[in-house]
């Protein structure tokens, strides 16, 4: 049996690679998009803010799986042909961007108003205030929940197995399917997920401590 487990390992690792690739792309896209939406939520005109709020609340109000299916099945119906991989990444990115938007808005909102006053008094323009005073401080506050979102994204990538994408979860199911060895591979897959997410959280903890000199 040990021999069979070993032979299944490369497939699992390939699946892990796919999962990580998906998570990386989604995190990048969602961070960029979420950042923009977050800025709009905090600083936009009334119309933009309402639109952004509706977007964020709708996306967060439905299960991520439903969003994945909506994108995967719904887009072809309106004429857009995406591969499963692209659809999955699009759906996960949309989902995560809504969460990140809230994180960004909350982070910026938590900067004391007095800091903006002081920045105004020095004569900085809106974009200068954002770039030099608000965001450097806000980003440090956004780090923990953002890392949480990264972990959620890695876990969410497992749902793309339902679209037939051979990530770690589907690779595990395939290997179980042809070797008929169940528990060891489940344990292995669980361990790999755990290792990745645990590492992400720990690294973030280290980063947080490096910036802890920002006492308020």
> Residues 6 or more apart from 166 whose CB is under 8 A from it?
14, 15, 18, 174
> Closer to other proteins at the Cβ: 14 or 140?
140
> Closer to other proteins at the Cβ: 41 or 159?
159
CB of 137 to other proteins, least distance (A): 5
CB of 93 to other proteins, least distance (A): 18
Distance between first and last Cα of the chain? 58
Q: Give Cα 167 to chain centroid, integer Å.
A: 16
Q: CA torsion sign, 146 to 152 to 157 to 162? A: negative
> Closer to other proteins at the Cβ: 50 or 118?
118
CB of 124 to other proteins, least distance (A): 6
CB of 196 to other proteins, least distance (A): 8
> Closer to other proteins at the Cβ: 31 or 161?
161
> Closer to other proteins at the Cβ: 6 or 78?
78
188 and 172 in contact (C-beta within 8 Å)? yes
CB of 175 to other proteins, least distance (A): 13
Contact residues toward other proteins (CB under 8 A) are 58, 61-66, 69-70, 73-74, 76-79, 114-115, 117-126, 128, 132-133, 136-137, 140, 151, 155-159, 161-162, 169, 173, 176, 182-183, 186, 189-190, 193-194, 197-198, 201, 213-216
CB of 135 to other proteins, least distance (A): 10
- Tokens matching residue 5: 């487990």
> Closer to other proteins at the Cβ: 46 or 216?
216
């Amino acid at each position: 049996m040990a021999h069979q487990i070993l032979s299944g390992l490369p497939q699992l690792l390939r699946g892990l690679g796919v999962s990580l690739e998906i998570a990386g792309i989604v995190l990048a896209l969602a961070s960029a998009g979420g950042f923009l939406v977050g800025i709009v939520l905090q600083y936009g005109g009334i119309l933009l803010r309402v639109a952004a709020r509706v977007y964020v609340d709708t996306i967060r109000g439905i299960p991520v799986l439903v969003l994945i299916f909506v994108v995967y099945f719904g887009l072809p119906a309106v004429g857009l042909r995406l591969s499963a991989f692209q659809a999955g990444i699009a759906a996960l990115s949309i989902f995560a961007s809504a969460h990140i938007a809230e994180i960004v808005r909350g982070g910026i909102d938590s900067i004391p108003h007095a800091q903006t006053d002081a920045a105004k008094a020095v004569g900085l323009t809106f974009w200068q205030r954002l770039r030099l005073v608000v965001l450097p401080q806000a980003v440090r506050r956004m780090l923990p929940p953002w890392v949480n979102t990264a972990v959620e994204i890695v876990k969410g990538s497992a749902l793309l197995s339902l679209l037939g994408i051979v990530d770690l979860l589907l690779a595990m199911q395939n290997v179980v399917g042809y070797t008929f060895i169940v528990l060891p591979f489940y344990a292995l897959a669980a361990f790999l997920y755990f290792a990745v997410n645990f590492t992400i959280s720990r690294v973030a903890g280290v980063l947080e401590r490096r910036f802890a000199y920002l006492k308020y």
